């Protein structure tokens, strides 16, 4: 990981590396971690923060806790019947 101290005169382009993590430090304290990120990462990032997606994960966890699950054979039988 690369560590960069950002001051008023530090150009951002110089601070960002080629595909490596960059730790931003202000007054000796870490303030941000910049990680390589592409369009596919952006899609996942947005999806993981979508309230509907978060609610669906919470509902799925509740179903597991309640034992409302099905095994592979049961799922395969159900899909084959469709």
The β-bridge relationship of strands 2-5 and 29-34 is unpaired
Query: Does this model's pTM top 0.75?
Result: no
- Distance, in Å, from the CA atom of 14 to the CA atom of 4, rounded to the nearest integer, reads 9
Q: Which residue has the higher pLDDT, 16 or 46?
A: 46
pLDDT tens digits, residue range 18-61? 678 888 888 999 998 888 888 888 899 889 999 999 999 999 99
Rg of the chain in Å (alpha carbons): 22
Domain boundaries, the chain: 2-34, 39-81
- Token pair of 18 as six digits: 């080629």
């Amino acid at each position: 990981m690369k560590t960069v101290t950002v001051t008023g005169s530090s150009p951002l382009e110089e601070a960002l590396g080629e595909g490596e993590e960059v730790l931003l430090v202000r007054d000796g304290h870490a303030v941000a971690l910049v990680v390589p990120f592409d369009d596919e990462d952006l899609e996942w990032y947005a999806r993981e923060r979508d309230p509907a997606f978060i609610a669906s994960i919470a509902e799925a966890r509740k179903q597991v806790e309640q034992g409302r699950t099905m095994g592979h054979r049961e799922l395969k039988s159900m899909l084959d019947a469709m």
